[in-house]
Chains A and B, each alone.
Chain A
Amino acid sequence: MTAFISIEGLRHFYEGRQVLDIDSLAIGEGEILAVVGPNGSGKSTLLRIINLLEKPSSAEITYWNGKKLTGLDRGERKELAGQMAMIFQEPILFKRSVKANISYGLKIRGVARHEVDRRASQMLERLDMSDFASREALTLSGGEAQKVTLGRAMVLEPRLLLMDEPLASLDTPTRKLVRRDIARLVKDMGVTAVYVSHDYQEVLEIADKLAIIFAGKVLQVGKPSEVFSRPASDVVAEFLGAENLLDGEVADCTEGLARVRIQGVELQAPCEMPAGSTVKVLIHPEDILIMMDGPEKSSARNSLPAQITGVSIIGALAKIGLDCGFPLIAYVTLASSEELMLEAGKKITAVIKATSIHVM
């Protein structure tokens, strides 16, 4: 795939201190690239450089129209900037109606009035906010306001959407809803997007590609499940902290409890997604219990026959590699591991509470 944007040799300094050092990073057309790293790792600076708001110390960026950053004249710069939209952590809205806020960018671009009206109404409909059209924007909740900010950016039909921690100021349940709206709208409209966050859990559901950035350097780029299953370094693994991230499919779902199939094995977990949905399943190794006999009567919904593939000691814990039809890592105390004489080849039952399984 030809890159939609390709970044080569990006070096950037603030007062003599290097803040970005990226050899190469490419974004494919229609892709959502999540750039994740701790605060101060250079994520927002990267967005501002892509968006032409900041000039890098040195870099070559090739945009979708074949134009290169180093050769842009004023007109080309303006044209490219007009094809990019950016949303920030805090929704910034004008003291006008919701519809006027959505229409703003179209108006200043000189779009005909009836067309402005049509596109703004259509955007409100897509956001499921038609009833909010005449509402004063400053009275909206945080989540609604961020949706309007998204609509105001997307109504311009940008080629590239840049998002800088767009959910950071929202509470957890609202985050989930707005995140879904973002993913749906961006995918439906086929817009390429870069999504910056310090929280990897936030982007798992929506990112096609994940780039882990640390101290200005991109440490790994890949599909989220690949980055999780095969972290490129201990720094990445530690940052992600997730050892069991699996690809699955919802077999069925009744009253909020689903059967999720992972490589032919079924797990029960809380989930609101319909049958057939492709999902990611996150299980923390600390939440897996090891039972020596067959399934006993317990409240845990998942008892999986498994074989131990390896045992390694990490401080007071034993890390137990399991094959349950798919690979799984469990942590138990060293004392338990010794008492149960856990070793490679032994057959056990892995017990997991449904409520400990996170389906995304």
Chain B
Amino acid sequence: MKLSARNMLKGKVKSVSHGAVNSEVTVELTGGDQVVSVITKSSAESLGLSEGKDVYVVIKATNVMIGID
């Protein structure tokens, strides 16, 4: 996938929780950290997202916030 997004992180779906319109998908990255994504329910269904599926998490650099302790 040739994309403008600077961040494409490989991981596995840990859980999918469906709401009325949207679904919350938790992805466990290779290093063990988790990323949560909210996508439409129809997307979650059409991609067949379920526990254990290999996916990429795509995040635009302009959407990433940075915090420090």
On A, residues with C-beta under 8 Å from B are 255-257, 268, 270, 286-287, 289-293, 296-301, 317, 330-333, 335-337, 340, 342, 351, 353-355
Select which of A255, A335, A355 is within 8 A of B39 by beta carbon. Answer: A355
3 closest A-B pairs by CB: A256-B21, A292-B2, A290-B4
B63 neighbours in A (Cβ, 8 Å): 286-287
Minimum CB–CB distance for B24 against chain A, Å: 11
A353 neighbours in B (Cβ, 8 Å): 39
Flag if A293 contacts B43 (CB, 8 Å).
no
Minimum CB–CB distance for A333 against chain B, Å: 5
Q: Is B34 close to A, CB under 8 A?
A: no
Flag if B62 contacts A301 (CB, 8 Å).
no
A333 neighbours in B (Cβ, 8 Å): 4, 6, 61-62
In the complex, chain B residues 12-69 whose Cβ is within 8 Å of any chain A Cβ: 20-22, 25, 37-44, 47, 49, 58, 60-63
Select which of A299, A331, A336 is within 8 A of B47 by beta carbon. Answer: A299
Q: Give the interface residue-count category, chain B.
A: 20 to 34
B58 neighbours in A (Cβ, 8 Å): 289, 298
**CB-CB nearest in chain B for A336:** B4
A351 neighbours in B (Cβ, 8 Å): 3
Q: Complex formed: what's the CA distance from A301 to B38 in Å?
A: 13
B contact face: mostly helix, strand, loop, or mixed: mixed
A317 neighbours in B (Cβ, 8 Å): 62
Q: Complex formed: what's the CA distance from A217 to B63 in Å?
A: 35
Beyond A270-B40, A333-B61, whether A293 also contacts B1 by CB under 8 A is yes
Q: Is B5 close to A, CB under 8 A?
A: yes
Q: Complex formed: what's the CA distance from A335 to B62 in Å?
A: 12
Q: Complex formed: what's the CA distance from A257 to B44 in Å?
A: 14
Flag if A355 contacts B38 (CB, 8 Å).
yes
Flag if B6 contacts A336 (CB, 8 Å).
yes
Flag if B4 contacts A289 (CB, 8 Å).
yes
Flag if B5 contacts A354 (CB, 8 Å).
no
A299 neighbours in B (Cβ, 8 Å): 25, 37, 39-40, 43-44, 47, 49
Flag if A301 contacts B40 (CB, 8 Å).
yes
Q: Complex formed: what's the CA distance from A353 to B41 in Å?
A: 12
Minimum CB–CB distance for B34 against chain A, Å: 17
A337 neighbours in B (Cβ, 8 Å): 4
**CB-CB nearest in chain B for A331:** B62
- Give me 10 A-to-B residue pairs in the complex whose CB atoms sit less than 8 angstroms apart, sorted by A's number: A255-B21, A286-B60, A289-B3, A293-B1, A298-B47, A298-B58, A299-B25, A299-B39, A351-B3, A355-B40
Q: Complex formed: what's the CA distance from A208 to B4 in Å?
A: 37
B3 neighbours in A (Cβ, 8 Å): 289-292, 351
Minimum CB–CB distance for B66 against chain A, Å: 14
Minimum CB–CB distance for B35 against chain A, Å: 13
Q: Complex formed: what's the CA distance from A11 to B1 in Å?
A: 59
Beyond A255-B20, A298-B58, A299-B47, whether A291 also contacts B2 by CB under 8 A is yes
Select which of B1, B21, B22 is within 8 A of A291 by beta carbon. Answer: B1
Beyond A286-B60, A289-B58, A298-B58, whether A257 also contacts B42 by CB under 8 A is yes
Flag if A296 contacts B1 (CB, 8 Å).
yes
Beyond A255-B21, A286-B62, A331-B62, whether A293 also contacts B2 by CB under 8 A is yes
Beyond A289-B58, A317-B62, A337-B4, whether A301 also contacts B42 by CB under 8 A is yes
Flag if A289 contacts B60 (CB, 8 Å).
yes
**CB-CB nearest in chain B for A268:** B40
B37 neighbours in A (Cβ, 8 Å): 299
**CB-CB nearest in chain A for B5:** A289
Flag if A355 contacts B22 (CB, 8 Å).
yes
B2 neighbours in A (Cβ, 8 Å): 291-293, 340
Q: Complex formed: what's the CA distance from A174 to B42 in Å?
A: 28
Minimum CB–CB distance for B14 against chain A, Å: 16
Of A270, A299, A355, chain B has the most CB atoms within 10 Å of the CB of: A299
A335 neighbours in B (Cβ, 8 Å): 6
**CB-CB nearest in chain A for B56:** A298
